Structure 1
Amino acid sequence: MYYMSYSTKVPTRSLRRRISKRNNPKPVLNESKFQETISNLPPRFTPEELADAITLQEDPLVCFHLFNWASQQPRFKHENCSYHIAVRKLGSAKMYKEMDDIVNQVLSVRHVGNENLYNSILFYFTRAGKLIRAVNIFRHMATSKNLECRPTIRTYHILFKALLGRGNNSYTSHMYMETVRSLFRQMVDNGIEPDVFALNCLVKGFVLSLHVNDALRIFHQMSVVYSCEPNSFTYDYLIHGLCAQGRTINARELLDEMKVKGFVPNAKSYNSLVNAFALGGEIDDAVKCLWEMVENGRVVDLITCRTLVDESCRKGKVGEAKRLLEMLREKKLVDRDSYDKLLNVLHKDL
């Protein structure tokens, strides 16, 4: 008897790419749509008229071929508007290879380009995970003699967001945070004033890389140095970071300050607070925070409930843990499956 064996190894990147190509065959140009779009253009169309035609066309492949066809027409030259709409169409369709062809054309023409066009290019390259290509575009912007192409605060927003989204653990977050810090210094040195989004990116980055004290330093500098008031996101990032380090006193202070300003913590902050209070033995504060969370319409996750039940039992508050569990069920804050899991936790602790 023969047995078929299956590999348990994770497929390599090249194999995944080949499988993806097999499952996603190369799209075929719709000739009728292409010819129809060409026929609707005036004899001596302008870049603006071409941009309008591309905007109205839903098929991104037709858009790409239309753009290339226009490039070959006598006395026609693309301008920012036609480059921009082509980049947006292809980028939105995730046709990054075709988009890259157009980007190379943009880079080859000195007088072409503006901040909006380059920011769109940056955005789609970062969305595609092509960070090196994005950084090269940014460098081109920064050294361009065309002042309309120079980076603005929006440019830095795109890069900060992309870099902070790359880290899946504290080590990689720390690596990318160094780049974010360097870009932030460069932004300030170039005379671009940071806004609350840029400062929140720094706060978030420091929290993700476990440098909470640096995050707090930026928080205290926001209004004094940069004339920016912290918003709810600032407090949420900091509360989560402080709770992760068990610094409940500091987290509580920020929570109180947040409430005075009229902000409501998000679910992540509330769950972090309840967990931190419970793990620190502050069961009463944890329960109080949980009900405040519910009152404010935030979702309690299963880990938070489990931690609170578990730690209550450890502190000998078994009766309170049972009552809490029943109240969670009565208020339909946990489903039947979650309730059974929490009940098992309770029985194990008895």
Structure 2
Amino acid sequence: MFLMGCTPDVQTFNDIIHAFCKVNRTHEAARTGQVEEARALLNKVPSPNIVLFNTLINGYVMSGRFDEAKVVLYDGMLGNGCEPDVYTFNILIHGLCKKGRLGSARELVNEMEIKGCKPNVTTYTILIDGFCKEGQLVEAGDVLNEMSYKGLSLNIVGYNRLISALCKDGKVLKL
């Protein structure tokens, strides 16, 4: 692009960062290197936006590198004046649930609300899925009740996950 006298825009950077974060997810060494290249590229973007940061944070979370994702959030994103949105929080909550850190995921939902970012159906579905995978059906039910109290309805993905977990736990009659 530069050789042809064309300057990349934010979308160009996002496409490349997205590709780096998605490439070779099955091979750990390649995945780690690619996410690092995405981070190096993000550091060269003149005015990075929330989409770029979310893409990189997701790349780290999907690589199992939650601590690096938090560094990008706190040092990169907040350092550049970008406030996390519901997508940012959902990525991080998903990463915590994936690691079995459900208490931390629950705390992050509370933190996002304190910061004025309202959890959405996807946020709660991620939590319910995490609790179901860990066999913590009472906690999953608590999340469902919290959703209902806030006027949100579970989506089909959440219901399927909950029904599957109840069936596996022998609680078919509770349905």
Tell me the SS of whatever aligns to 1:150: coil
> Structure 2 vs 1, CA of residues 308 and 290 (structure 1 numbering), >3 Å: closer, same or farther?
farther
2:2 counterpart of 1:151: no
> Structure 2 vs 1, CA of residues 222 and 206 (structure 1 numbering), >3 Å: closer, same or farther?
same
Report the equivalent of 1:184.
Answer: 39
2:173 counterpart of 1:322: yes
Q: Deviations over 1:125-168 (max 9, x none)?
A: xxxxxxxxxxxxxxxx24x273xx1223221112223444555x
What is the deviation of 1:216? 1.9
CA distance in 2 between counterparts of 1:175 and 1:213 reads 19
Structure 1, gaps ≥5 residues long:
1-140, 326-350
Contact 1:181 1:202 in 2 (8 A): no
What is the deviation of 1:263? 1.9
2:78 counterpart of 1:211: no
> Structure 2 vs 1, CA of residues 163 and 203 (structure 1 numbering), >3 Å: closer, same or farther?
same
> Structure 2 vs 1, CA of residues 192 and 247 (structure 1 numbering), >3 Å: closer, same or farther?
same
Identical aligned pairs, as a percentage?
24
2:53 counterpart of 1:196: no
Report the equivalent of 1:298.
Answer: 154
How many residue pairs get aligned? The number is 170
> Structure 2 vs 1, CA of residues 173 and 266 (structure 1 numbering), >3 Å: closer, same or farther?
farther
What is the deviation of 1:191? 5.7
2:100 counterpart of 1:243: no
CA distance in 2 between counterparts of 1:252 and 1:193 reads 32
Report the equivalent of 2:139.
Answer: 285
Counterparts of 1:66-77 in structure 2 under 5 Å?
none
Report the equivalent of 1:88.
Answer: none
Partner letter of residue 173 of structure 2?
Answer: K
Structure 2, gaps ≥5 residues long:
none
Partner letter of residue 143 of structure 2?
Answer: C
CA distance in 2 between counterparts of 1:287 and 1:275 reads 11
Q: Quick one: which of 226, 230, 233 aligns to 2:80?
A: 226
Partner letter of residue 296 of structure 1?
Answer: L
CA distance in 2 between counterparts of 1:204 and 1:266 reads 19
Tell me the SS of whatever aligns to 2:91: helix
What is the deviation of 1:277? 2.5
What is the deviation of 1:194? 2.0
Tell me the SS of whatever aligns to 2:26: helix
What is the deviation of 1:172? 4.6
TM-score norm. by structure 1 comes to 0.42
Partner letter of residue 291 of structure 1?
Answer: N
Counterparts of 1:1-350 in structure 2 under 5 Å?
141-142=1-2, 144=3, 146=5, 149-166=6-23, 170-172=25-27, 175-176=30-31, 178-188=33-43, 190=44, 192-222=46-76, 224-260=78-114, 261-267=116-122, 269-280=123-134, 282-293=136-147, 295-299=151-155, 300-311=158-169, 313=170, 322-323=173-174, 325=175
Q: Deviations over 1:250-273 (max 9, x none)?
A: 101111122332322343x43331
CA distance in 2 between counterparts of 1:256 and 1:281 reads 22
TM-score norm. by structure 2 comes to 0.78
Let me know the Cα RMSD of the aligned residues.
2.8
- Larger Rg, first or second structure (1 or 2): 1
Report the equivalent of 1:5.
Answer: none
What is the deviation of 1:177? 5.5
Which structure is richer in relative contact order (CA contacts within 8 A, separation 6 or more)?
2
Contact 2:20 2:37 in 1 (8 A): no
CA distance in 2 between counterparts of 1:303 and 1:281 reads 11
> Structure 2 vs 1, CA of residues 257 and 187 (structure 1 numbering), >3 Å: closer, same or farther?
closer
